[in-house]
Amino acid sequence: MNSADLGRRVGVPSTALFTDQYELTMVQAALKAGTADRRSVFEAFTRRLPEGRRYGVVAGTGRVLDAVENFHFEDEMLGFLRDQDVVDGPTLDYLADYRFSGDIWGYPEGEVYFPGSPVLRVEGSFAECVLLETVILSILNHDSAIAAAASRMSAAAGGRGLIEMGARRTHELSAVASSRAAYIGGFDTTSDLAAGFRYNIPTVGTSAHAFTLLHDSERDAFRAQVDSLGRGTTLLVDTYDVTEAVRTAVEIAGPELGAVRIDSGDLLLVAHRVRQQLDELGATETRIVVTSDLDEYAIASLAAAPVDAYGVGTQLVTGSGHPTCSMVYKLVARAASADPADELRPVAKKSMGSKSSKGGRKWAARRRDEEGVAEAEVIGTGPVPDELAGQQLLVELVKGGEVVAREPLDEARERHIAARAGLPMSAMQLSRGEPVLPTEYV
């Protein structure tokens, strides 16, 4: 992956306070103990997938790179930390000069992952790595959850168009991140102009019920919209009577009418009736778009309906019931000093519950069968077996503090399509089940 023309680079404010206080107090204590500069390796991973999910989707990597680049403490922030007595003077001096200078490796954006997959590996001094924990997790947990939901909806849609339209159902900044993640997961367009501006995602939108209600009649509303936006526009036909609205829409726009949108009722039944009516009126190329609280299950239930595109909002931007991936960020190896020659020692939390982790700096590879279908996620800490050398998953993202792997969003989107296609067919099932690939440790 190389840096490329990625469209507009919107200014990002410092991300240094997008963190938890204990990250800074750990740095203070480590500075005082003389251990802050110990060479360390942290990994972001999840111990389990959300219940019923068969694979996860990596999303947010590009935003993580922006966050790392912009993680620096401005004078006003340092003043706040001083005034609130969050950390002491020596720690403030350290934070004033902070810039991440380590290395980051990770699964490329759009790739799929499984329990234990080292989705992101951050290497550097303890202090500089631990400060990034919260912002990295907040991005990966949110964006990967949205991308996973989008992927399931994309699989259920079976190639039909998907419109992300959830901006009004979440925080305004989360809406932009959700649009980006949904695009990676297989959505085609967004209604959110900020997402289009920032990430070059195609944007769409025509009118709501309010526009029809504004006018003295539905005919007047349709005429106004067609006069303004052209015959190829999409007319919303369920404000009053659907049958009458479809007839009026074709009378005004002619058979060149681009699409009609249905936002209520029994979508399966109404879509069939509308398709029949459009064909009888000669509008055989007019598309049907359906909206109304859709999720992957509703989309799948409409597979037999003459629907051309789905608009999804609430369920998408909330992860379709799983708004987080439960990723964690753990120290897995550390040296006794900052000396590169010092051996990295595996470390891991021991727990009597389900929160234990495996130590060691890890690699990951995906073993495939003779037909090229994935059959296991293989994770190890020692030498990579020769037969897996060409199947390794982690790529270099940051080297010596410099981002080396920015890419256009379309590359992540295409990567996801290919990664999903390489999974067993059971990965596309919406029924509850275990991860489609086992995780093997070697």
Low-confidence ranges of the chain (pLDDT < 70): 1-12, 352-353
End-to-end CA distance of the chain: 28
Structure tokens belonging to residue 251: 């009378």
pLDDT at 5: 43
pLDDT at 350: 82
Counting Cβ atoms within 10 Å, is residue 424 exposed (0-12), middle (13-18) or buried (19+)? middle
Residue 41 backbone phi and psi in degrees, to 5: -130, 120
pTM of the predicted protein model: 0.94
pLDDT at 6: 54
Query: Which residues are 402's β-sheet partners?
Result: 399
pLDDT at 289: 98
Cα–Cα dist 413/182, whole Å = 9
pLDDT at 355: 73
Structure tokens belonging to residue 34: 């003389």
Query: Which residues are 235's β-sheet partners?
Result: 260
pLDDT at 343: 95
pLDDT at 349: 85
Query: Which residues are 123's β-sheet partners?
Result: 41, 103
Sign of CA dihedral 104, 107, 109, 115: negative
Taking only the tens place, the pLDDT of each residue in 8-61 is 555 568 999 999 999 999 999 999 999 999 999 999 999 999 998 999 999 999
pLDDT at 352: 66
Considering just the CA atoms, what is the radius of gyration of the chain in Å? Answer: 25
Query: Which residues are 378's β-sheet partners?
Result: 365, 440
Q: Which residue has the tokens 């190890």?
A: 380
pLDDT at 315: 97
